Structure 1
Amino acid sequence: MTTASCGRSCEGIDGRIREIASPYLLDLDLRRMNGEAVVHFGGCSDHRDTEILRFFGEIGERAPGSYGLLHVRDDEDHGRENDVLVVRMVRGRVGEHLEPLLSPCIPVLEDPSEGEGTGPPGPRPPAPGRRPGVAPPACPACRR
């Protein structure tokens, strides 16, 4: 997520990062890239962290030109437990949207558990730009 203005905003953001950062759930820091201040979020939790979402919104308030995406999967959110949501910040304003490329989680990301769903998932569609039955190109690094 990139912040549009810095100075005092960055000081406040950096202070909040120190308050809420957790080595168990999140990689969170303020970096400089290409002359811009960038807040980096990383982690893999199986439910929504309201403090992180609140902080994402705070960034937009402190630096109104900010933009970025935060993907959230909350298996405890009734009615949305099979969805990945994208929290989008544009010009400092935050909104939630369904992430169609990663949802529904079952069967897109995971196979159904035993007794879940109507049976094994059918054949997966080819990746965008790929024709059915055509093997992907060999990996240049490992030649497989």
Structure 2
Amino acid sequence: MFEYHGWITVRETAGSDDDEGRLRQIVAELQRRIDLMADPYLLDLRWMNGEPFIHLGGHANHAPSTDVVELFEQVAAVAPGSYGLLHVLDDEDPEHGNEVRVIRLVRGRVTRHTETLLSPCVPTLEDPFTTI
């Protein structure tokens, strides 16, 4: 199972002086990427109150072939002022299968962490498997 929920505030820079024309170009480039992903779940880029945001979420049997983490990495590269979080639960991950992982995007860097509020999944989220 591969479950994910995330958001990104898209900003060209971490300052308050983003060039609106350049930001619109960045958003158009990201929209083309999102359109190519053709994700059957939640994947949305929209402007709200003058700022662009990406929201994504899904629940699949396996990790998607178009990696949602790669989208975070692309945003980091083209819009280093962006920030956001992606929570991922991948029970097929050999190292972190019992953890909710957090992908953190801040100032052009993508880092990975264990979400301590939801991990370990068993027993925090689910009861241990027992046989009768």
CA deviation after TM superposition for structure 1 residue 16, in Å: 0.5
1:96 and 2:112 aligned: yes
| Alignment partner, residue 8 of structure 1 | 25
Greater RCO structure (CA 8 Å; 6+ sep)? 2
Task: Select the residue among 35, 38, 41 that pairs with 2:56.
Answer: 41
Q: CA separation in 2, counterparts of 1:22 and 1:41?
A: 9
1:77 and 2:75 aligned: no
Q: CA separation in 2, counterparts of 1:45 and 1:73?
A: 10
Q: Which has the higher helix share?
A: 2
Q: Calculate the TM-score normalised by the size of structure 1.
A: 0.73
CA deviation after TM superposition for structure 1 residue 51, in Å: 1.8
Q: Which has the higher strand share?
A: 2
Q: Which runs of 5+ in 1 are unaligned?
A: 116-144
Q: Which runs of 5+ in 2 are unaligned?
A: 1-7, 13-22
Classify 1:80/1:47 alpha carbon distance in 2 versus 1 (closer, same or farther; 3 Å): farther
Q: Calculate the TM-score normalised by the size of structure 2.
A: 0.79
Q: CA separation in 1, counterparts of 2:37 and 2:55?
A: 13
Secondary structure in structure 2 of the residue aligned to 1:101: coil
Identical pairs, percent: 48
CA deviation after TM superposition for structure 1 residue 48, in Å: 3.9
Pairs aligned (count)? 113
